[in-house]
Amino acid sequence: TLCHPSVPPPVWVRARVRRLLSGAGQGSPHSLPAPPARLPYVPHVPPMALLGKVTATTFALERPRCVFDGHADASDSVWLAVAFANASAAFRNPCSRADVPPYKQLPTARSYMTLETAAAAYSCSAASPPVLRVGGDTACRDQGRQDPCNGPLPSPGPYRVKFLLMGCRGPKAETRWSEPILLRRAASPSTIDPAPARRGSDVVVIASILASLGAVLATTVLGALGAKAWGSLCHQDLGTDAFTRRSYRTHHIPPALPQPLPPSCGCSPPGLCRSA
């Protein structure tokens, strides 16, 4: 599409445009620029698994490669147009960089343009990252900059996006609009159940029972081992005491018992003893 103002032009302007258009085929120097080329490429979220591919304020977008070759010059740039899905049909390409809708107008204009990049970064030979991040610049929102920026998206959307090749004389080529891209929704605190689910309670009960059984088993095993060790120690103590007692009785001198007298010192039976 050509550049379209949001307010219909006056009658005299429309008449002048018709005259210019009628002379465009005759080589008039005041002919209007050609409409941008419509490219068949459709922007899309990368299909591979990617951490943070779609969040509450951002989404990843596959970088188009070899799409603008044959249309872009060295001085051209590629922009990304972002619009709410229900407002993409009303989006009008800007006539120049000065007309690019900024990020801060998204709540009212329902669209903006961002990610201004040299067209060479999208060529077949460019060594560029394969993924773009839409909404990843938090400094845009905080600093309120006037230049186009890539600020966080304010709501889940959904959104549609397209790439636009801009030259010194205005738009030169554009891709198709993407399918609607819906961001993640943050869960409301009022919807979170503070009580654990029944299944979670059952799991907790089973885990508690298993833990108690494990503790009882461990206590039993430790008690058995302790009793066995204590018995072994007691057995060793008793053996030592018995040996000590036997050894003590063996070396102990018993009380003196009557010993038979030597024969030279013995007494004869009564009446038989004689003096020397």
What does the angle CA 169 – CA 167 – CA 28 come to, to the nearest 5 degrees? 30
Q: In what order do the strands lie in the sheet with 37-38?
A: 37-38, 170-174, 159-167, 77-84, 111-118
- Distance, CA of 144 to CA of 252 (rounded, Å): 108
Q: What is the pLDDT of residues 241-263, one digit of tens each?
A: 444 444 444 444 344 444 444 44
CATH number at 37-185:
2.60.40
Q: What is the pLDDT of residues 229-238, one digit of tens each?
A: 656 655 554 4
Q: What confidence score (pLDDT) does residue 32 get?
A: 60
Q: What confidence score (pLDDT) does residue 236 get?
A: 53
Q: Is 166 left (phi over 0), alpha (psi -120 to 50) or beta?
A: beta
Domain ranges (residues) in the chain: 37-185
pTM for the structure as a whole = 0.59
Q: Which parts of the chain sit beneath pLDDT 70?
A: 1-33, 141-147, 186-205, 226-227, 229-276
Q: What confidence score (pLDDT) does residue 19 get?
A: 59
Q: Point out which residues pair with 111 in neighbouring strands.
A: 83
